[in-house]
Amino acid sequence: MIPERLKKGDTIGLIAPSSPVEKDDLEIINQSILLLESEGFNIKFAPNALNNELGYGAKAKTKAEDINMLFQDEEVKAIFCISGGFNSNTTFEYLDYDRIKYQPKIICGFSDSTSLLNVIYQRTGLVTFHGPTFKALTSWQTSYGYEEVMKRLVEGALSLGKADDEYVTVQEGKAQGILVGGNLSLVNEMVAGNYAIDFTDKILFLEELFLETPPALVSNYFYHMRQNGVFDKIKGIWLGNYDGSISIEQILLDSLEGEYHFPIIKSNNFGHIDKKTVIPIGTMAKIDTNKDVKIELLEDCVKR
């Protein structure tokens, strides 16, 4: 199930499902508002988007009410997570998945939003978007992420990233599968349990923030995934940014121990960096390590 694409004149709704919006963030958020308003879009904050009733964010039910409300709001055509942080998973049991399925629309974010994006896809079949948060549209040094949002969500383009983005083959091969993933630590939390991701026949894309996750912890996550059968189910892996002292691809290969032979590619065009390719979760894609651009989308992710 794919949402309607964004059109100029549409209203974009803003939610804060993770950490609270800080006062220092408001100037950057206002820059993002001005940027999108200059392009002809309208911006609407969810009622509790700036709520910090707990001191570390809004209550879980409050966050979920905002999400449910914006999906129900016929004026809102797309939803952006304002920023990342922690705790978007607290909303899971309070989300109205039937409502989301009945009124599908674009929802976009990254980092902690990984949890929310994957559970919505898992429970409803709605394609969601791993891309810039609303704050990230103007908080980085380049316009890469903003241009990707316009390209994917407004134009409906299928090309991932920029033409000069570099892709590296970590393990050769070809594979097709539906894209799922995002931040490694968050994906790791969804390996098992009531809100687990179904990894069967999927292409798994992963990135991680080195400042919070040293190589030994990355290894911990990969081994936990291996021990719970994730690598037995997937068709391939696409690795994104990780600025660690040891590369994420080396840590992954150490964890696989030569026992898995699906294709693995690496690029630096998504993650906690300025380059934020908008990746549609729930869309069929193909990895081919013989090509320069080693991954491509095979189907539309928004209605044209």
Q: Could you give phi then psi for residue 12, rounded to 5 degrees? A: -105, 125
**Segment 252-277 mean pLDDT:** 96
Least confident of 149-153, 160-164, 179-183, 238-242: 160-164
d(CA 31, CA 236): 38
Mention every residue, 6+ apart, whose C-beta is less than 8 A from residue 74.
Answer: 103
d(CA 80, CA 220): 31
d(CA 136, CA 294): 26
pTM, whole model, 2 decimals? Answer: 0.96
d(CA 301, CA 304): 9
Q: Does the pLDDT at position 304 exceed 90?
A: no
Residue 288 is encoded by which pair of tokens?
């081919």
In this prediction, residue 140 carries a pLDDT of 85
Which of 119, 129, 112, 76 is CA-nearest to residue 97? 119
In this prediction, residue 183 carries a pLDDT of 98
Domains of the chain by start residue, with CATH: 11-154 (3.40.50.10740), 167-297 (3.50.30.60)
Cα maximum dimension of the chain: 52
Q: Does the pLDDT at position 301 exceed 90?
A: yes
